[in-house]
């Protein structure tokens, strides 16, 4: 019953540092995605993947990298952290990217860049 698991839950970085936010799902979902949630902005799509080995950019991809080597995992990498990347990051998955399946969300990673 794990669903979508995100680690870490909280992280503080200094400007210029790099880090990887982890996301794993145990539902054999093909589609996975990353969103960021900022006050007054709503959730915005960063990157998404429709299956292992396939990724694409969302609305706000700059400063982030992703890869999808397995169905279960979809890590998000910050290459050189900037204060503008302070946000709450959510990973989501669904059975496929097509069709009418609901999205399942993790509990988020709260990231602060100093």
Partner 1 sequence: KQEVTQIPAALSVPEGENLVLNCSFTDSAIYNLQWFRQDPGKGLTSLLLIQSSQREQTSGRLNASLDKSSGRSTLYIAASQPGDSATYLCAVRGAGSYQLTFGKGTKLSVIP
Least distance in Å: CB of 34 to partner 1? Answer: 12
Per DSSP, 23 falls in state E
Least distance in Å: CB of 40 to partner 1? Answer: 7
Q: How far apart are CA 29 and CA 64, in angstroms?
A: 22
Which lies closer to partner 1 via its Cβ, residue 17 or residue 22? 22
Least distance in Å: CB of 101 to partner 1? Answer: 8
Which lies closer to partner 1 via its Cβ, residue 48 or residue 64? 48
Sign of CA dihedral 95, 98, 103, 105: positive
104-105 vs 87-94, strand pairing mode: antiparallel
Least distance in Å: CB of 15 to partner 1? Answer: 25
Which lies closer to partner 1 via its Cβ, residue 28 or residue 42? 42
Which lies closer to partner 1 via its Cβ, residue 58 or residue 75? 58
| Residues at the contact surface with partner 1, assessed by CB under 8 A | 4, 31, 33, 40-45, 48, 50, 56, 58-59, 90, 92, 97, 100-108
Q: How far apart are CA 21 and CA 97, in angstroms?
A: 22
**Adjacent-strand bridge partners of 71:** none
Per DSSP, 73 falls in state B
């Amino acid at each position: 019953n794990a669903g979508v698991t995100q680690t870490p839950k909280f992280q503080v970085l200094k400007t210029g540092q790099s880090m990887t936010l982890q996301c794993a799902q145990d539902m054999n979902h093909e589609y996975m995605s990353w969103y960021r949630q900022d006050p007054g902005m709503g959730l915005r799509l960063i990157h998404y993947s429709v299956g292992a080995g396939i990724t694409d950019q969302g609305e706000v991809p700059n400063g982030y990298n992703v890869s999808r080597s397995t169905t279960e995992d979809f890590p998000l990498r910050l290459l050189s952290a900037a204060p503008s990347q302070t946000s709450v990051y959510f990973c989501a998955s669904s059975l496929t990217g097509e069709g009418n399946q609901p999205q399942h969300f993790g509990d988020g990673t709260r990231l602060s860049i100093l």
